[in-house]
Amino acid sequence: MKSILIYGAGGHAKAVIDVIEKAGECRVTGLLDRIKPPGTNVYGYQVLGNENDLAVDESVQGLIVAIGDNWLRAEVAMAIRSIRPDLPFITAIHPNASVARGAEIGEGSVVMAGAVVNSDTRIGKHCILYTLASVDHDSSVGDFVSFAPHAATGGGVSIGAYTALGIGAKIIHSVSIGEHTVVGAGANVLSPIADYSVAYGTPAREIRARKAGERYL
């Protein structure tokens, strides 16, 4: 069984720990975090340090970045890659998730309980599909994208990198959502949404522009 570290020690990290434990394919040996001090205990696992400690720890066989914010998750993943380019990012898929034939899920991504990735859909690297999220057939999801619980798409949808879909957001088939965009909770997206936008409502419309890295959680 592969020995891995989890980067993160907050609420999202707890959810990722549960996915990894339920999947039973990796053994968590500890946590890394920039804020919580070494020795902090989360679900029986200790914070061992931060990403800089990876430079001297050659025993770890894999890592997953468990940070809910897309931009911060990307920053940490890139920092880790610069320190340890040899270290693989693992993918965590809950046993009660459904990943259909032909679907692809990128490294570092998390698919939580009840989530569905349908046939011939591509999920990028370091994405999050929270509980009961659904991405239908032949869709394409960029890197560092997050689907909140119950967010769902129809078939043939395209979603750009770093975009976040809020709780219960719905995207009809064949619609494109830009990169670095936030779709609000409960939105019903019936037409394309541009890059760097905040959109919500029924039907959803673009409310304002946003910048890369702007907080949304």
| Domains in the chain: boundaries | 2-83, 92-204
Which tokens in the block code for residue 92? 């965590």
Q: Which of 79, 78, 149, 138 is nearest to 110 (CA)?
A: 149
Read off the tokens for 82.
């610069």
**For residue range 7-16, what is the model confidence (pLDDT) as tens digits?**
999 999 999 9
182: amino acid identity, one letter = V
The confidence score (pLDDT) of residue 56 equals 62
* CATH superfamily of domain region 92-204: Hexapeptide repeat proteins (2.160.10.10)
Whether the CB-CB separation of 95 and 77 falls below 8 Å is answered with no
Choose which CATH entry (3.20.20.80, 3.10.20.520, 3.40.800.10, 3.40.50.20) describes domain 2-83.
3.40.50.20
Integer Cα distance of 160 and 158 in angstroms = 7
- Residue ranges of the chain with pLDDT lower than 70? 56-57
Most distant CA atoms of the chain, gap in Å: 52
The tokens for 67 are 């940070």
Q: Give the per-residue pLDDT at 217.
A: 78
Are 181 and 195 within 8 A, CB to CB?
A: yes
User: Same CATH fold, 92-204 and 2-83?
Assistant: no
Residue 60: the pLDDT is 85
Distance CA 151, CA 167 (A): 6
Q: Has 126 been annotated as catalytic?
A: no
pTM, full prediction: 0.96
> DSSP class of residue 89?
B
- Pick the catalytic residue from 12, 94, 126, 137: 137
Q: How high is the pLDDT of residue 1?
A: 82
